[in-house]
């Protein structure tokens, strides 16, 4: 891999500009979920242990270059201090006088948090002068924000080109997991792609059919593929204007030797509501006044069989309307099967994307997957085969 890790850098006595993602949910001035804070702790602690001084760069919300008080990173500081178990110093700007003075005053063993980088419009424009002002504050740059790596911003891409750079522990874990899943995976490889619309995942599907051995398609997307095969999907969520595109993907998959797995049976209902009256029918037997809301038991059995044959799984998106019972059944069953095989060391399982993490948590399977990415957009773009500026700059 082209990028360096913290282990390859001499951090002793050095100021380490560390890009993190602590864009956490806040209600009434209090952080309500500190997951992202917890995930950056290994990087901060390892920098401190090596004698480095961590100076944290981060964005918070979308202030669009304005100094918006409610988007100040000062609101995150108490939760960061609680997680670290030690005080965190704070500077009221990320460049200029306040930042320079805070960096100069920073003692060994202390951590400094700089104010929201997006208070400056130059951040999202990746302005060279802004990147240089950031670089002037440190000796080494460490990017631990994979979730922001798909943005070519001053604090993710610009500064990385001006200082000796490396990946933090979270970034390292993300890249290693993704490399294992799609870069040089142990075959056979199966991908699960679900969600509402084919149109939002065209690049993803196009990239995957050339890289995986089996592609399971679920959710509303599966309905579009069924419609592309001339199957009546009744009132189901489907993009009928995308059926030609779906057919092209099926043809491309066949040419690449990738087996596309669509539901063979489906769970249908006449209303989209929890515990709505429902029936399980063959995929080509959806009543005209009903909608497909989940994959059926035969489909789940097929997916489980494919999982058992596979060595690597990459998952993005649910198989049905997982938010409401009982239409979370297929997602739950498939997730628990993947978790069981992962526990047994028979499957390397990597999953990511907002709905995906929520669905796997709901199923009680997330913690048993080999790796769960919380990166969202960056995870998707990596799966699509796109170059991520924040990662490329580390090389």
Q: Give me the active site residues, please.
A: 36, 197, 354, 377
Tokens 């599907």: give the residue. Answer: 205
Q: Residue 24: which region, alpha, beta or left (left: phi > 0; alpha: psi -120 to 50)?
A: beta
CA distance 69 to 60: 11
Helices (H) and strands (E) in the chain, counts: 14, 17
Tokens 């499957």: give the residue. Answer: 347
Distance of CA 202 to the CA centre of its chain: 17
Sequence-ordered alpha helix ranges (H) in the chain: 35-49, 77-84, 96-105, 121-124, 128-135, 169-178, 202-208, 219-228, 243-256, 297-309, 329-343, 354-363, 377-383, 389-392
What is the CB neighbour count within 10 angstroms for residue 187? 10
Of the candidates 104, 118, 125, the one whose C-alpha atom is nearest the C-alpha of residue 55 is: 104
CA distances from 334 to 298, 303, 337 (A): 12, 7, 5
Q: 292 has which bridge partners? A: 268
Tokens 């990239």: give the residue. Answer: 207
3-state secondary structure of 293: strand
CA distance 170 to 350: 14
Tokens 């979920």: give the residue. Answer: 33
Contact 52, 14 (CB under 8 A): yes
CA distance 368 to 374: 15
Of the candidates 53, 59, 40, 37, the one whose C-alpha atom is nearest the C-alpha of residue 112 is: 53
Q: Can the peptide bond before residue 188 be classed as cis, meaning omega within 30 degrees of 0?
A: yes
Contact 168, 144 (CB under 8 A): yes
């Amino acid at each position: 891999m082209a990028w360096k890790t913290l282990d390859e850098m001499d951090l002793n006595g050095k100021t380490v500009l560390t890009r993190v993602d602590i864009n956490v949910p806040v209600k009434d001035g209090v952080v309500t979920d500190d997951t992202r804070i917890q995930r950056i702790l290994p990087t901060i602690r390892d920098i401190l242990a090596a004698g480095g001084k961590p100076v944290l760069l981060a964005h918070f919300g979308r202030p669009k270059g304005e100094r918006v008080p409610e988007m100040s990173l000062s609101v995150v500081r108490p939760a960061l201090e609680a997680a670290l178990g030690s005080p965190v110093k704070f500077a009221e700007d990320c460049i200029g006088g306040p930042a320079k003075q805070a960096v100069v005053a920073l003692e060994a063993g202390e951590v400094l948090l700089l104010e929201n980088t997006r208070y400056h419009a130059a951040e999202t424009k990746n302005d060279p002068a802004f990147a240089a002002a950031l670089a002037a504050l440190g000796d080494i740059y460490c990017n631990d924000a994979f979730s922001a790596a798909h943005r070519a911003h001053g604090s993710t891409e610009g500064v990385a080109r001006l200082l000796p750079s490396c990946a933090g522990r979270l970034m390292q874990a993300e890249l290693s997991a993704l490399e294992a899943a799609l870069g040089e995976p142990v075959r056979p490889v199966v991908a699960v792609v679900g969600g509402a619309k084919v149109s939002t995942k065209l690049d993803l599907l196009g990239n995957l059919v050339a890289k995986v051995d089996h592609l399971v398609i679920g959710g509303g997307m599966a309905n579009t593929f069924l419609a592309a095969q001339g199957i009546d999907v009744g009132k189901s969520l489907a993009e009928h204007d995308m059926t030609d595109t779906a057919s092209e993907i099926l043809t491309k998959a066949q040419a690449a030797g990738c087996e596309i797995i669509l539901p063979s049976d489906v769970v249908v209902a006449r209303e989209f509501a929890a515990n709505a009256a429902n029936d399980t029918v063959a995929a080509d037997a959806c009543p005209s006044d009903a909608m497909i809301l989940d994959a059926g038991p035969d489909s789940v059995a097929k997916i489980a069989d494919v999982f058992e044959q596979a060595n690597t799984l990459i998952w993005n998106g649910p198989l049905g309307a997982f938010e409401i019972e009982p239409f979370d059944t297929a997602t739950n069953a498939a997730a628990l099967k993947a978790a069981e095989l992962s526990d047994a060391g028979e499957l390397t399982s990597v999953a990511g994307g907002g709905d995906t993490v929520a669905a796997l948590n709901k199923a009680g399977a997330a913690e048993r997957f080999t790796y769960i990415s919380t990166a969202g957009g960056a995870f998707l773009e990596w799966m699509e085969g796109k170059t991520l500026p924040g990662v490329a700059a580390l090389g």
